[in-house]
Amino acid sequence: MSNEDYSVLLGTHFGMELEATEGTDPGDAAADGILAENDSFAFRTGREIIPYNALHGSLSELAPLLGIFNDIGFDFAVKAKGSGTSSTPPDIADPLKVVFGDQTDSVSGNIKASPTPTPTAFTVEGASVDVSVGDLIYVDYDGSGSYFPTRIITEATANVLTVWPPLPADSITGGADYDVICGSTFKLLSASHPSASAYWYFPGGEKLVMSGCKGGATLTFEVGQPLRIEFNFDALSYAASHASGSFTYNETTTTPPMCLGMTMKTIIEGRVAAGTSATSVVVTGVDYDFEVAVGDTLIVYDDTATQYKTRTVTSVSGAFGADKTCGVATLTNAPSAGENVFCVRTSNDCVRRIQVSIENEIEPAECVQPSSGRSSLQVTKRIVNIETDKYFRSMYELLARDNRVVGTELWMLLGDTAGNIIIGCIPNFVRHTAEISTDNFMMNPLTGQAYYDAASNDEFFLTFL
């Protein structure tokens, strides 16, 4: 089998376009250009070689037969950035949609002051909001400009939205300052994965097309660097020809936001336990632990006020693995046992790198009818692996405080200018056991996996605002 890698010459144009029919080249357009790193390309054009062994009166071998192209594909990387406009997808929208499976494009609006909004339900005005159940939206819940992910839309009727979990606010009055932003959100689906064709125009008038492309991606958030996305695609077929062409690019409208000044949050879900009072909330973990510390934010249900309220934790007691008693400012009335509690940790975590690997397992459907021997590429399995480099301040934090259990949410925000904000959200993260180095446990790579959430089909969201 032949499997060759080629580097891309400077001066080459590259672009991708979604296909209406898998494996059928839709034709490229000038706007399909992607700002890919020039030294990141690798091509695979592997073809099966079948020995032609036969007695033919000679010591020489007969020329082998050429079978199907069984390893066609390419890899490339980009430094991610927005388009410059919140409602306009980035230039990498097509390859992202191939990897994730779905893309929702929406525009921004405001929480309407009347009818009175609540932490779980509100009306959006100021723009047509094209969202649906299962979409992820971002809300400025207190008018401060600090966007908080509401995770999931559970009901959507026109522009009346119901969301879960609730917004962490004592009251939401609504108005021009209470923004709702629904940008270009890419979501992982389990069906209807689209395919794309990729195009290269090389110096000297040569063109390469790879069609029926599907694959995965690795996203790396690293301190002092822009978000880097490495794509890896398999293809059904490729064709080379003599042709000249070019693409347009968004080189100067925006520059990639850096992983500096990032907002990071961890959200851990628990339940109210017996013994709770209006100033002391007893929390039990959904799984086997609920770790909370002074300064964390609790979102708890106030029975009398019949709404979720935000309280800062002022004291904590309770052994590792046991229920936690959290001191809070007085609630109107104590929550009832069994109510949901969300612990929001706005990170004092010191994280150097977060890497998200979307590993789509691709299987070719081999078929005798097409001349290529393959009719389609099927996505048969998906795993989303997470790896982080984190500094730990103590052995206790390594073993207990950072315990990631089912129900933990992680999210990262890059950039602060509309049109060039990137948000990554992992709604359901479980860490694997960390390996502890006794001579240097202050920094330790954590590995884990993002899992399917019963409320959605998404292990990872990526939004451009």
**26 assigned to some structural domain:** no
Q: What is the pLDDT of residue 356?
A: 95
Stated as kind and residue range, the H or E segment containing 197 is strand 196-202
Domain boundary among 161, 182, 203: 182
Domain encompassing residue 145: 107-182
Domain boundary among 148, 182, 216: 182
Q: What is the pLDDT of residue 206?
A: 93
Q: What is the pLDDT of residue 150?
A: 60
Q: Which residues have a Cβ under 8 Å from the Cβ of 358 and sit 6 or more positions away?
A: 99, 100, 188, 216, 217, 218, 219, 382, 384, 460
**Structure tokens given for 97:** 């949609």
Q: What is the pLDDT of residue 73?
A: 93
Q: What is the pLDDT of residue 2?
A: 44
Q: What is the pLDDT of residue 295?
A: 80
**119 assigned to some structural domain:** yes
Phi-psi region of 4 (alpha: psi -120 to 50; beta: other; left: phi over 0): beta
Please tell me the pTM assigned to this model.
0.78
CATH number of domain containing 149: 2.40.30
Q: Which residues have a Cβ under 8 Å from the Cβ of 359 and sit 6 or more positions away?
A: 216, 382, 383, 384, 385
Phi-psi region of 432 (alpha: psi -120 to 50; beta: other; left: phi over 0): beta
Contact 137, 182 (CB under 8 A): yes
Phi, psi of 399 (to 5 degrees): -85, -30
**309 assigned to some structural domain:** yes
Among 159, 107, 140, smallest CA distance to 419 is for: 107
Phi, psi of 99 (to 5 degrees): -75, -50
**269 assigned to some structural domain:** no
Contact 26, 20 (CB under 8 A): yes
**Structure tokens given for 119:** 């932490």
Query: Which stretches within 47-136 are classed as H helix?
Result: 93-100
Cα 179 from Cα 189, distance rounded (Å) = 28
**169 assigned to some structural domain:** yes
Cα 400 from Cα 382, distance rounded (Å) = 29
**441 assigned to some structural domain:** no
User: In 287-370, which ranges are E strands?
Assistant: 297-302, 307-312, 315-317, 324-327, 340-346, 350-366
Among 295, 321, 284, 323, smallest CA distance to 396 is for: 321
Buried b (16+ CB within 10 A) or exposed e, 342-378: bbbbeeebebeebbbbbebebebeeeeeeebbbbbbe
Burial of 126 per CB tally in 10 Å (0-12, 13-18, 19+): middle
Domain boundary among 149, 182, 215: 182
- Quickly tell me which residue has 């159940």 as its tokens: 133
**384 assigned to some structural domain:** no
What residues pair up with 364 in beta bridges, in sequence order? 377
Q: What is the pLDDT of residue 401?
A: 46
How many domains is the chain built from? 2
Among 329, 326, 325, smallest CA distance to 309 is for: 329
Contact 301, 340 (CB under 8 A): yes
Phi-psi region of 354 (alpha: psi -120 to 50; beta: other; left: phi over 0): beta
**140 assigned to some structural domain:** yes
Averaged over successive runs of 10 residues, the pLDDT of the chain (465 residues) comes to 55 94 95 89 85 89 86 93 86 95 73 84 73 72 66 75 74 78 78 91 93 96 92 93 94 86 67 88 68 79 68 84 86 82 67 90 86 85 87 58 54 80 81 58 70 68 85
